[in-house]
Structure formats: C-alpha cells, structure tokens
Chains A and B, each alone.
Chain A
Amino acid sequence: MLMPRRLFQTTLLAGAVAAALSSHAQATELTVYTAVESDDLQKYAERFNAAHPDTTINWVRDSTGVITARLLAEKNNPQADVIWGLAATSLLLLEEEGLLERYAPAGVENLDPKFVDVAYQSGEDPAWVGMDAWVAAICYNTIEGERQGVPMPTSWEDLTQPEFQGHVIMPNPNSSGTGYLDVASWLQLWGEEQGWDYMDRLHNNISRYTHSGSAPCSLAATGEAVVGVSFAFRGARLKSQGAPIEVVFPEEGLGWDMEAAGIVEGTDKLDAAQTLMDWIVSREANELYNEGYAVVAYPGVAQPIENYPSDITDRMIDADFQWAAVNRERVLAEWQRRYDGKTEQ
C-alpha cells in the first residue's frame, strides 16, 4: 500500500523502459545523415542490407540545409557515423571544417573522376565520393496553365515575364539543397551581378518560397501552383504517378549538384562505416541510384529514365562545386537579406 513509492517506481520504470526502447542495440548500428528523398530511404537500406545484413542503418533525414547546419552545429560532438546522400557542396564545406574522415572505398577507381573528391587525383584518399547528379527542372501544370493563361516556360528567363506573376513557387535555398543549387547555378551562369538581377526580377513573380525542394513540384502537381522550380527526380516521379505536369529543362542550362557520401571524422564504428562506403561506390549501388537519377557516378551504368531527356548530360552546366561551397554562407546571407520576407513558414 505504499502508494508514493509505487508511484515513483512506476515513474522510474516508465523512464527506464522508454530509454531502453530507444536503444535496442544488437548488430552494428550506423547513424546515417541524409537528404535523399524519403521515398527511397527504405529501398537504399534494404539493398545494402541484402549484401551486409549485420549492419543496421538508422536514418536521420531532413532537407539539405537542415542536415548541413545540423552537422556543423554538432561539430564538437558528432552524432552521425556516415553521410550518405548529401549535396557535394555541403560535403566540401564539411571537409573544410575537418568533419570528414578520408577513406578510399574499394572500387573508387571505377568511378568517373568528376564524381570523386579532387584530392584523390593527387594521390590522397578522397574525403567524399559522389553518387549521382541531381538536376534542376521546372514542373509545369498543363491544365492550370491553360486555365489561368500561363504559357509553358522553356527558359529560366521566361519565369520573369509578367504572365507568370504570382504563379511561380521555388524552394528557399537556406533550407533546401535544390534551392541553393538553383541560386548557385544562376550566379555561375550569368555572373554575380546579372544573377542577382535575375533573382530580383524572379522574386516579383514568386508566390512563395518553400522549405523543401520537392514541395514546389508537388504544389504544381496538385494545381496549387502553375509553375514549381524543383528538380528532375521529383518531377519525373510525379508525372509517372499521373500528375498533369510537364517537366521543363530550361534552355540556358541546368544547374546541378551531386549527391555524395563520406565518413564522419571520429566515428567509433569505422569498420562498419568503411563497409558501407565500399558498397556506396559499387556498381550495384549505382544501379540503385539510377532508378531515380539519370546521371550516376559509375560510368556505363546509367539507363535512360522515363520523363528525363536523353541529352540531359549535355545540358547540365559546368558546375563549380568548389565555388558553390566556398561562397555558400555569403550567398545565402545575401539571399536572405533580399528576399526573406516571402518564405513559407
């Protein structure tokens, strides 16, 4: 009948149970930070586990900006073991901060050199390896376009025309990797002055900036917007699902970034992390990436994908990731200063 004691035992017990439930440690568990589209995470883990069943992957997924900021914030007390599927611009930044453990995965020599940390060419172990290219695209809702008298755009410049006013949605580059690759590619295509001038004019037509890079295309697909600045993967997938959209690849050139992977410096599960990295560069893994992305790191693997143009590689701009990484903070601050009032909450 000692009610208070029992009561506090219950409290403690519940706490202990909750704590135990949250750390069911059996096989090696890797905490993997990622910005890969959540549609695919389960598939990625399953394919890896088919080859290596003894390693469990605990995904921590968020949009590129959030994951990058989180890795930087945890610099002194890293929580992640591996990063698998984050923008190369972000990994360059992390490398500069000394957050990545250099490692040459078995088979890295098979990859297209463009997709591997340049340090590898000068004999060092690479800090990161690329997986696939993720390409900017515009999702255009054909039904809404016709109804509201908004023509299908063919170029980036089209989006600044008066008939697009209030019909364009794009991701906020502060939180979204897609948003940043758009901004970075415009600045590289046209130079800083003209790039910002373009964004000033574009800003007048934007109805809002979203948190994620997928949302603009989803909003175009459901007719909430006519034009969503997004990326090819999401557009192709939504179109396959029956959305009345056209995926437009603007003629000035396509900005792109690379999804890449690396080991977090100081992980106490180095063996498992290296095993994962070996698999990440494998042919099998690249075939997996190719299910969603038209351009992958392993030469000769890529098969054409539904709703992607066949000449997509030629239309990708000559992106300078080093520039995008080094200038990231400055560009984002400037962007925020100019346009932040219109960001979606």
Chain B
Amino acid sequence: MTASLLSKSLLRRDAAVSPEALIRLLVLLAGMALLVVGLLFPLFAMLVKSVQDRSGDFIGLANFIRYFQTPALVNSIANSLSVALMATVTVVSLAFVCAYGITRTCMPGKRLFRMLAILPILAPSLLPAISLVYLFGNQGFLRDVLAGHSIYGPIGIVMGMSFWIFPHALMLLTTALTNSDARLYEAAEALGTPKWRTFLTITLPGVRYGLISCLFVVFTLAITDFGVPKIIGGQFSVLATDVYRQVVGQQNFQMGAVVSVILLLPAVLSFIVDRWIQRRQVAQLSARAVPWQPTPSPLRDWTFALLCYTVAGIILLVIGTAVYASLIQFWPYNLSFTLQHYTFQGLGGGGWGAWFNSLKLAFSVALIGTLVIFFNAWLIEKSEGYRPLRQGLHFMAMLPMAVPGMVLGLAYIFFFNQAGNPLNWLYGTMAILVLNTLVHFYTVCHLTSVTALKQLDPEFEAVGASLKVPFWTTFSRVTLPVSLPAVLDISVYLFVNAMTTVSAVVFLYNSDTRLASVAVLHLDEAGYFSSAAAMAVLIFLTSLVVKLLHSALTHVLLNNAQRWRQAG
C-alpha cells in the first residue's frame, strides 16, 4: 500500500520514466522490503509480545511490572551493567596501549602482532569461556592466580568477553590513532612541552571521538554477549542469558520479550550516542594535516613491544588451551592425547553434520549477503533520484547494529512463527538462518561498502549514463570488479560471523539445521566439555582457513587485477 503510493508520487515527479528508472525503483524497494521484513516487522512483533499475556491478550505493562517485582530477574540488570563496564575498561585500556604501540612507536614485529591480535575474531565467543575453565577452574593449571576466587561468575565473564572483544577495540583505536597531525607535535616539541603533556593535550583530544566511539561499541558488545556468560557465568545471571533461560528453559516467551526490550535499551542508547559522535567527527582533520611518523626510541619501542606481545601471548594461550582441551583423553585424570573428541559420536548436538550446516550457512550468507548488501549500498551511494527512498534505506541499514543477536533471534520466532504469516514456511529452514544472519551483520558490511564506493570517482556512473548503458551493466562491469577488495572483505566478515555466531541462531535452528556454534553450547550443557572444546576449535580452524585464503586472494588481486590503483 504505502509502497505503491510512494512509487506513484515518485513517478509523477519524474515525468518521463524510463524502464531503467523503474527497475532502479523496484530494486530499491526490494532492498527496503528485505530490511522491513528481516528487521522491523520482527522487532515490532517482539514489542507486541512483551505487552501480551500467554493467550495473546493485551495486558499493558503487567509483564514489565512482574519483571521488576522479581528480584532474580531485576538483579541481572545490575549484573549486566557491572560486567559490561569492567570489560569495557579492561578492553579499551589494553587496546589503547596496543594501538598506540602500532601507530605511534617503532616497535618491532607490528605485522605479526596485528595478525595474532585478530585471531579471537575467528573463534566463537564460547571458546575463551571453555578455555578459562581449563585454565582457572578448580582443576586449572593457573587456578592459584585467582587466589581462591571462582572463575564461574563475573571474573570469568569479564576475562572471556575481553578476549573476544579486544580485536574490535584494537581496530577502532588503531584507525583513530593513525589520523594525527605532525604539525601539532612539532609545535609542541619546539615549545619544549613535556611528553606526558603532549599526550594529554594533543594525542588524547585528537582521538577523543574515536575513543568514545570505541567505548560505546565495546560496551554494547559486552552487555549483549551471550556465549561467555552462558558457559562460565555459573550462578551469575545477565540479561542475555535471562532471555535464553526464559525462552528455552521455561518457554516463557512473554518474559523473554520483556527482557529483550530491556536488553535493547542500552544497545540503542549507545548506538545513538555513537551516531551523534560520528557526525561531529567529520571536520576534525583538516586537509592540510601532515601525518606524523614515529622515530625510533629503543626504550619506548621495546616497552610497547613487551606489552603487545604479552597480550598476543595471552591470546595464543587461550586458543592453545582450547586445542589442548579438545585433544586430552579425560581431563584432568588421563592426560594422554586422542582425537576421539572430534568424532562427536552419539553426543547429540549434530556433530559433523552441524559443522557442515554451519559451512552451508556461512557460504550462503557470504555469497548472498555480499551481493545484496554491496548492491544496495551502491544504489544508495551512486544512483540518481529517489533521494528520500535512498536515505531511508541507508538509515535502515544502520539499524541492525543496535539490535543484539538474542533480541533479533527471539523477534524472528515471534514474527515468522505466527500462524497466518505468509512467510511462516521459512520457519525452521536454512533460509531463515541465512536471512537472520545477513540482517544481524548488515551494518558493518554496509559501512564498508559505502566507504569503498565513496573512494570511487562518480564519473564512472556519469560516463555509463551518457553512453546509455543500463545501471546494472555499469555495476557489474565496472563498480563490482573495481571494488573487489572491499567486496572480499565483506564476504569474509560475513563468513566468519556466520560460522561463530550463536546468540541469534540459538532460537532458530531445528533438527535438520543444527549449527556448529549451537552444538558447542549443547555439548557443554550436557557435560561433554572436551567435545564442546573440539567443536569450538573446529569452528576456529574453519574461519582461519577461510581468512588465510582471503588474505592470499586479496594479495594476488592487489598485485594483478588491481594494478591500476598504483598507476594513479
């Protein structure tokens, strides 16, 4: 209805409508429809559910009142906030030191460090939690470090979260610290300003937007994380695990919806703040700025190298522990090596079939997602006309970032499992997992696409149009090939996330579409800890192989097909 009205009004404005323009409109509307069906409708269904009772009658805020009257549930808000804050402080300060080492010192082995620092992204967030039990549990070889405190609870949660969020923070802060104006530092030096003062008055203010943005991103990731508190939270409940417990443990969907709405609040809030900051940041670096280059300073350089490699060592220790755990016969009483935990024989969870399903999902999401997201971004960025529609699509593309995985997954149950929904057939299929994962990780891919497209000369489209070549030819013959590195980045990002994510899909799989990441969870729940570790390692290795292939491919592409980049 609205769509047809909209198209009518738009059509009237452009008096002479070419078939090409009509197709352009249709694909824009299709892109919009994807996000409306894949995001807005499910979220709306969830909000509705939170104000209904079990039989579906409207009961106002009664569910919320009951929520706030149940101490076991309300406590989770404070728990979530406290672990998220602790994780944020830990991650951002560590990442800041490391990013500073990468960008502002001449420490040796930067490339190697950056490679090692990225590793946690390739593992499901359940992996660090499993490793921590082996490291710091009652039988862990480092348990004395905790001085009698239990790893099951806030300590374990903060450690596990810090592990997998660290690379995200490092990337953001490295970018922020790369932009520097050498003229300011020269002036400071000329004036004899002490180093600490230069840091406080030039460096910190220079990265303040990047830093604040990083704080919010990390906080959001931490407060919405499900995998780590699920495995190692013990009796310490947080919002994300409450959603799971209400829905899966007790089939109390209404209360699950209420907790989801509460979980949505901090995420949306930090999303808004982040958007606001991004907007202010634009004019920060003037065109006349000269990039600052560090000069060697052995003491400083080796100090930072030591710090960075300690962090890298911890990352390797955590991953190594999971690998070790998966290869041990019977921890901690029989330490002989075995591959038997990789057979997953008769343990439920789906075994290798689940791994295969995950591969199917990851490849589908990488293929379909990359094309759809990049094509939509191109329509928004590079096409003429339908401006309100393009802006609307851009806004919609930003929203998924504010929606936690648990919330999106639950929202899909409410929307797609409704009797009478024409899309009901999707429920329980692989297709719904593809759609859900695509939407879940839409925003970062969209932003990457937009950045890549902005670097391209708008002349391509203008020339195409003047030659009367339809827009899809320009897209497939020129834009897509030229942007191949960015497109590959997006596809590998989608692949890795589809392999590792557990929060949204945990509500959506069925017996034919079990996933490896969900299997890790179920194996751990049932007490098969070594097999859970084995499955987590399997996911990690799969992502690692794909990531290495991607690096090799990008390298070849940049050397051959993209030689024009250097020519200019």
> Which A residues fall within an 8 A CB radius of B?
1-4, 7-8, 10-11, 14-15, 18-19, 21-23, 31, 38-43, 58-61, 63, 65-66, 69-70, 72-73, 77, 143-144, 172, 174-175, 207-212, 214-219, 222-225, 234, 241-244, 336, 340-345
Cβ-closest chain A residue relative to B150 = A207
B245 within 8 A of A: yes
Q: Which residues B240-271 have CB closer than 8 A to chain A? A: 241, 244-245, 248-251, 253
- What are the residues of chain B within 8 A of A40 when measuring CB–CB? 346
B526 A215 Cβ-Cβ under 8 A: yes
A343 B245 Cβ-Cβ under 8 A: yes
B235 A341 Cβ-Cβ under 8 A: yes
13 contacts between A and B (CB under 8 A): A14-B434, A38-B348, A59-B511, A69-B251, A144-B138, A207-B234, A215-B526, A215-B527, A217-B527, A218-B526, A222-B330, A224-B137, A340-B72
B172 within 8 A of A: no
A345 B244 Cβ-Cβ under 8 A: yes
> Which B residues fall within an 8 A CB radius of A?
23, 27, 30, 71-72, 75, 133, 137-139, 152, 229-230, 233-238, 241, 244-245, 248-251, 253, 330-334, 345-349, 360, 364, 367-368, 371-372, 375, 419, 425, 428-431, 434, 472-473, 475-477, 510-513, 525-529
A1 B476 Cβ-Cβ under 8 A: yes
B334 A342 Cβ-Cβ under 8 A: no
B152 A2 Cβ-Cβ under 8 A: no
**Known interface pairs A215-B526, A345-B237; A14-B367 also in contact (CB < 8 Å):** yes
Closest 5 CB pairs of A and B: A218-B527, A38-B348, A18-B430, A345-B241, A69-B251
Count CB-based A-B contacts (< 8 Å).
162
B512 A22 Cβ-Cβ under 8 A: yes
- What are the residues of chain A within 8 A of B525 when measuring CB–CB? 63, 210-212, 215
A2 B472 Cβ-Cβ under 8 A: yes
- What are the residues of chain B within 8 A of A23 when measuring CB–CB? 512
B249 A18 Cβ-Cβ under 8 A: no
B334 A242 Cβ-Cβ under 8 A: yes
Cβ-closest chain A residue relative to B433 = A18
**Known interface pairs A4-B472, A10-B368; A66-B249 also in contact (CB < 8 Å):** yes
B527 A219 Cβ-Cβ under 8 A: yes
B250 A69 Cβ-Cβ under 8 A: yes
Q: How far is the CA of A19 from the CA of B229 in the complex (A)?
A: 33
B333 A4 Cβ-Cβ under 8 A: no
- What are the residues of chain A within 8 A of B236 when measuring CB–CB? 345
Starting from the known contacts A38-B349, A218-B526, 15 additional A-B residue pairs (CB-CB under 8 Å) come to A38-B346, A38-B347, A38-B526, A40-B346, A60-B510, A73-B253, A175-B249, A175-B250, A210-B525, A212-B526, A217-B527, A222-B330, A222-B332, A224-B133, A345-B244
**Known interface pairs A3-B475, A342-B235; A22-B330 also in contact (CB < 8 Å):** no
- What are the residues of chain B within 8 A of A69 when measuring CB–CB? 250-251
**Known interface pairs A41-B348, A143-B333, A208-B234; A222-B375 also in contact (CB < 8 Å):** no
- What are the residues of chain B within 8 A of A31 when measuring CB–CB? 511
- What are the residues of chain A within 8 A of B372 when measuring CB–CB? 7, 11
A18 B434 Cβ-Cβ under 8 A: yes
Cβ-closest chain B residue relative to A18 = B430
- What are the residues of chain A within 8 A of B472 when measuring CB–CB? 1-4
Q: How far is the CA of A341 from the CA of B429 in the complex (A)?
A: 36
- What are the residues of chain B within 8 A of A65 when measuring CB–CB? 249-250
Q: Which of A7, A8, A209, A219 has the most CB of B within 10 A?
A: A7
**Known interface pairs A21-B430, A143-B333, A224-B138; A343-B235 also in contact (CB < 8 Å):** yes
